[in-house]
Structure 1
Amino acid sequence: MTHEKLAGQQSAPQAVYIHIPFCTNKCFYCDFNSYVLKDQPVMKYLEALEREMEYTVTQTPPGEIKTIFVGGGTPTVLKPDEMAYFLKTVRTYFPNWSDDIEFSMEANPGTTDLEKMAVMKEGGVNRVSFGVQAFQNELLTGIGRIHNTDDVYRSLENARKTGLTNLSIDLMFGLPNQTVEMLSDSITRALELDLPHYSIYGLKVEENTLFHTMFQKNQLPLPSEDHELKMYLLLMERMKEAGYNQYEISNFAKPGKESRHNITYWRNEDYYGLGAGAHGYVHRQRHMNIRGVNPYNEATEKGLPRLETFTISKEEAMEDFLMVGLRMLEGVSSTRFEQQFHVKLEDIFAKPLHKMLHAGLLEAEGDMYRLSSQGVLYGNEVFAEFIGAITVK
């Protein structure tokens, strides 16, 4: 049987990721594929995105779409007319939405006035994730954010006025000059908002960022590892006390308000990836698109704007299943593993499973393996145990 025929028999992806690479400015910690908005060919980019959508759905026709996530960059830097055009193209090429679709868009406080929010809601967006990061203006300035805390409250008020209530905010810990007390204050102010969802990430100093340059020169006043651990323990305790379920290492939600799109990634399920620098995963093929805006725009005039496409081997897919699946605190299901790969999880990963269970970093219940409370603190070490650890082929 040919590969094409086999792929054709597989179900269509039910999740769509779309990348809008424009920002008002570049944050000091950001290594995402993003470009300062000034003088960028925004409309040409949106037209190129439409061409990629058309090529994509011709090659892999979509079924029922359950989640759409628009990330960046800052998608909300689009003007209302650009936003309306963009959302219309999404609906045109991915028309079959499930009744309870989760359509998320990332937003920065200060880029979401009432008019734009109304256009977003009209175009189908029903979940907005705001990049707040901290509630201390001096910390925001120190990481290169251009919003302030007043912008946060105004943006959330605008969203609610428009009827958008499924809202999330991102916070960060381990920031330069941040203390445990500052994080505690940020969590207090975040919880006062009574939102359905919070993402709270530790700062990673990535290459090709201003922070990396400062770090190399010993000019980045980061909290100590001990303080960073205290911050993480504090945020887990505070979120639990407030009734939020920690469903993934960095994510907390009220019951039923988990990010279903991100769960697609963590369950290693297929998703379309569209836009400059976007990644996609369809029928065990991963792709990455051309990153630059103009090169991407030009490439879509000839076909799919791929930088690289590669097939994921069964072994790599099995490793990915464990590594991303264990990020979720419900853990990974040996039943689901066997359904997907037609082999037993315990046969394939006997050695690392035994080692991590014995070390008390994993625990088993029924057909599930999950991080223990200690394992959550050392997740990366646990995930690394499963790389190159397949014992039975």
Structure 2
Amino acid sequence: MLITFSALVVLLIMLSFITAQHPLLGKNPTEQRMEFVQNSPNFQNGKFRNLIEKPGMTEGSNIVVEVYKTFFKSIPNREPSEALPSVKTNLKAFDPEQDALVWFGHSSAFMQLDGKTFLIDPVMSGKASPFPWGTRAYKGTDIYTVDDLPEIDYLLISHDHYDHLDYETILKLKDKVKLVVTGLGVGEHFEHWGYPKNKLIEADWGDKMDFGNGISIITETAHHDSGRAFAGGQHLWVSFIIQSSKRKIFYTGDGGYDKHFAEIGKKYGPFDWALMENGQYDPAWRSVHCHPDEVAQATEELQARNMIPVHHSKFSLAKHAWYEPITRISEYSKSRNYRLATPMIGELVQLDNDQQPFKAWWKDVR
């Protein structure tokens, strides 16, 4: 069976070479952009590096074996057998005075602060793969489209993996987005897809962008990687600190646990809210994705008062049951120094209401 799988991998690689010119694969930085990339202290020996180097795969793990186990081996409860519950909130009817957030599943979210709109890592194509047969969204989770969105002041892209930078969604957003804020090099994808340069802000770790009227965005470190085809590490992965006149919010992007959470908490905290990556983890790739116990610890180190776990309940990209991340983080969050918020997909989160109740909606889903 492993031989058959290896043959399939070779076939996919050959197919990838044949389709390498497809625009959805994006583009590595060229010419002037590459000069900016190479000037970053985080770009060394031909690629971006994490602050603390760790192997992407845990010692003793084989990437071919792990890919086979993840995508070809039967995993109990890997996907829900019925549609997940959701709520369709009218995003175009927000009171401009209301600070609120709506989670779309996985790591995608819409947010309004001080009347300004933010869209984070939107994936609205129903898939998290470049291949037509690839990973698909669970039933009931793909209820929002780009047409449901109002104009977006700031589109925030944490990194260029397919489950965070979705080609089809980005194309449809082109005329709705005023500014894109992302890591160094990622703008090459956007220009390749027809976005003008004056809409793109590419930043390094520690860069602050002040947009006036109390709105600012800081790009900070995460322990992860990047790449859409074969040459990885050419586009920087980031986390975000989003600040308005009233509150401060942290979004992890993707990344494994390390001391950077405590350092970010000391430098920028406390945070009113934190959106924390919690899902698609595995012992085999522990360095690049947090496990739920690490998410709970990192949230405290960030000094966050409220936390929303993301990166779960839409796509199966790991070997755990679909409900395991939200179940485990609920247990690990008991008696912590933060409040856990667990909205359904589409449910309005009132960012100025620390007492808003949320249901354990996943418990009633088979």
TM-score normalised to the size of structure 2? 0.32
The structure with more radius of gyration: 1
Higher relative contact order by CA 8 Å / sep ≥ 6: 1 or 2? 2
